[in-house]
Structure 1
């Protein structure tokens, strides 16, 4: 691995970590595209690497800051963590079973839809209104 790649990986990690601590996003929305575009990973390699980061307590210092301010509901974390483990297992099985192209499209659609929702644009409501106008 070249020094340039190591430097790019460090920058990706710092940026993803900062955004995670700043706005609470999972690193995957930053790490997966960055590994694909800047390092040349396939979608599946990037997703696997991003998931590998979750095995380590990468967000522990950010969690401590939020916990100390009383902003973490430990019960909710416990419930979601348990279901997240099962969901991660099932999702990885599906991701490995479908084509790279299909996986990229699913990833892009999720990012696009989430971005619209965050901007206050409800795409499903817009589509539903369109159908009502067309079909009465």
Structure 2
């Protein structure tokens, strides 16, 4: 593994962690808006709940399935995970300092950017 790969993995881990702490992760694209719109959660509650749902018991089953099929690069995953934790600490602390309106706007922009990229990708 080269230094460039390690630094790239560190960057991915930090960015993913910051975004997960800031706007929720994974199922947050579905769960966060539904919790806000249909259950009256505020943005902080919805994001915190989304993160709690994705804790180890939920992901462990999926990871084990991928692992059995040889579809996980353990070295890369370990590096990303370590820095994901660091990034998520900063992202969650940042999110908790923002007011609800600003946090909702950031969440919406992240979704739009990702959707636009996916839509326009070849």
TM-score category (smaller protein): 0.7 to 0.9
Q: Which has the larger radius of gyration?
A: 1
Which segment drifts farther, 85-94 or 55-64? 55-64
In structure 2, the residue matched to 1:131 is none
The 1-side partners of 2:103 and 2:117 are apart by: 21
Structure 1 runs (4+) greater than 4 angstroms displaced: none
Cα deviation per residue 1:65-101 (whole Å; 9 max; x = unaligned)? 2112221111111111111111111011110101110
In structure 2, the residue matched to 1:100 is 100
In structure 1, the residue matched to 2:53 is 53
In structure 2, the residue matched to 1:91 is 91
Instruction: Confirm whether residue 109 of structure 1 aligns to residue 116 of structure 2.
Output: no
Question: 1:30 offset after TM fit, Å?
Answer: 1.3
Structure with the bigger RCO (C-alpha within 8 Å, sep 6+) is 2
The 2-side partners of 1:53 and 1:26 are apart by: 10
What is the TM-score when the length of structure 1 is the normalising length?
A: 0.66
What is the TM-score when the length of structure 2 is the normalising length?
A: 0.73
C-alpha RMSD of matched pairs (Å): 1.8
The 2-side partners of 1:35 and 1:92 are apart by: 18
Counting only pairs closer than 5 Å after superposition, residues 2-81 of structure 1 correspond to structure 2 as: 26-81=26-81
The 1-side partners of 2:34 and 2:76 are apart by: 30
Which segment drifts farther, 111-120 or 46-55? 46-55
Instruction: Confirm whether residue 119 of structure 1 aligns to residue 114 of structure 2.
Output: no
